[in-house]
């Protein structure tokens, strides 16, 4: 179900072979069953809804397939300041009352939907299994707050944690950043900004991230329909979040950054049957080419958002454990 591509340079032609995809990779039986259940539920696609309706629908369904919320020593809501002074909601997860290292976690949802509640179970699993604290951020969403609000809110939280983690009883000298989907995009931009500002990060944890300016890779065509995240919904998310003229900006498309040398080591988790898989592979290649250590987990037979399906898909639990182990090792004293 899972194959690991470690930090060594990729085999020439491996990326091309992945992107040609002949024949079409099969879905795992568990993934196929999940998609059948979703179809039977007749949930309306996000692109047929208003952003407000989509948020409500996502919130209602977000944890149906997640593992039960694990009990932790500390689960605390607090606020931290954005660059413009707006107070942002955040949530701390810690498995112990100790001065723990910290992962800033940025949720997915296409920059339009999602929040603290939709990713609560996942954050608990990361804290429980890694032994680190997790701080989840409720960054501002589009279309009310279009690009680059989410980027700036994420960086403000990263910068705040580096300076003020001790006020939470945490170790701000041992920091990582991570996220899933759009949150993975934001985590990648945070890692680049941290490099540029001299802030040392132990790890960037990028789960099924978007990294490219355009939805034009072979995987976007191959998995355009019937694989949970469809092409029309991707366009809907993009249109609500960012103007066409801004889509080449590296803060939206991290693949467009000028260079990657010196950024934090990466753990990149990709789903084989995901429109975003090719750009995730390309991002890993770009990091490796710049001398950055990359652990790449390519999870076979699953779709986008599988990481939040631990109740139904065993590969999700395995991938969560791999993420937690990468965090544990990177954040060790």
Which positions are annotated as active-site residues? 181, 274, 304
What DSSP designation does 87 have? E
- CA 301 to CA 201: how far, in whole Å? 32
| Per-residue buried b or exposed e for 73-93, using 16+ beta carbons within 10 Å of the residue's own CB | ebbeeeebebeeeeebebbbb
Task: Tally Cβ neighbours within 10 Å of residue 278.
Answer: 24
What DSSP designation does 28 have? P
* Dihedral, CA of residue 323, residue 325, residue 326 and residue 331, to nearest 10: 120
- Long-range contacts of range 49-54, CB-CB < 8 Å, 24 or more positions apart? 51/112, 51/113, 51/141, 51/142, 51/143, 51/240, 54/112, 54/113
Q: How distant, in Å, are the alpha carbons of 226, 230, 236, 238, 276 from that of 222?
A: 10, 10, 19, 19, 11
**Two structure tokens written together for 120:** 């609560």
The reply to whether omega before 23 is within 30° of 0 (cis) is yes
Strand partners, 78: 90
- CA 77 to CA 167: how far, in whole Å? 14
What DSSP designation does 217 have? S
Angle at CA of residue 168, ends 80 and 175, nearest 5°: 85
Q: How distant, in Å, are the alpha carbons of 120, 162, 241 from that of 77?
A: 12, 18, 27
């Amino acid at each position: 179900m899972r194959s690991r591509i470690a930090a060594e340079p990729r085999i020439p032609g491996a990326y091309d072979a992945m992107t040609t995809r002949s024949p079409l990779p099969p879905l795992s039986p568990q993934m196929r069953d999940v998609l059948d259940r979703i179809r039977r539920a007749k949930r309306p696609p996000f692109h047929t809804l208003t952003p407000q309706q989509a948020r409500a629908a996502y919130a209602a369904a977000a944890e149906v397939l997640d593992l039960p919320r694990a009990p932790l020593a500390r689960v605390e809501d607090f606020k931290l300041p954005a660059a413009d002074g707006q107070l942002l909601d955040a949530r701390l997860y810690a498995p112990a009352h100790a001065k723990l290292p910290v992962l800033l976690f940025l949720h997915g949802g296409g920059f339009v939907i999602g929040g603290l509640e939709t990713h609560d179970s996942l954050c608990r699993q990361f804290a429980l299994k890694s032994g680190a604290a997790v701080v989840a951020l409720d960054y501002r969403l589009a279309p009310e707050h279009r690009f680059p609000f989410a980027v700036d809110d994420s960086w403000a939280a990263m910068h705040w944690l580096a300076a003020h983690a001790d006020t939470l009883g945490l170790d701000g000298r041992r920091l990582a950043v991570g996220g899933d989907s759009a949150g993975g995009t934001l985590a990648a931009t945070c890692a680049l900004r941290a490099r540029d500002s001299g802030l040392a990060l132990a790890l960037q944890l990028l789960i099924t991230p978007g990294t490219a300016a355009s939805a034009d890779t072979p995987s976007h065509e191959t998995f355009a329909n019937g694989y949970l995240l469809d092409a029309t919904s991707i366009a809907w998310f993009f249109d609500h979040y960012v103007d066409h003229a801004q889509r080449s900006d590296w803060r939206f498309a991290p693949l467009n950054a000028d260079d990657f040398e010196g950024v934090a080591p990466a753990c990149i988790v990709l789903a084989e049957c995901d429109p975003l898989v090719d750009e995730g592979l390309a991002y890993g290649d770009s990091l490796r080419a710049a001398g950055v250590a990359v652990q790449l987990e390519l999870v076979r037979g699953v779709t986008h958002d599988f990481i939040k399906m631990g109740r139904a898909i065993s590969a999700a639990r395995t991938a969560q454990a791999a993420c937690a182990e990468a965090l544990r090792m990177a954040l060790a004293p």
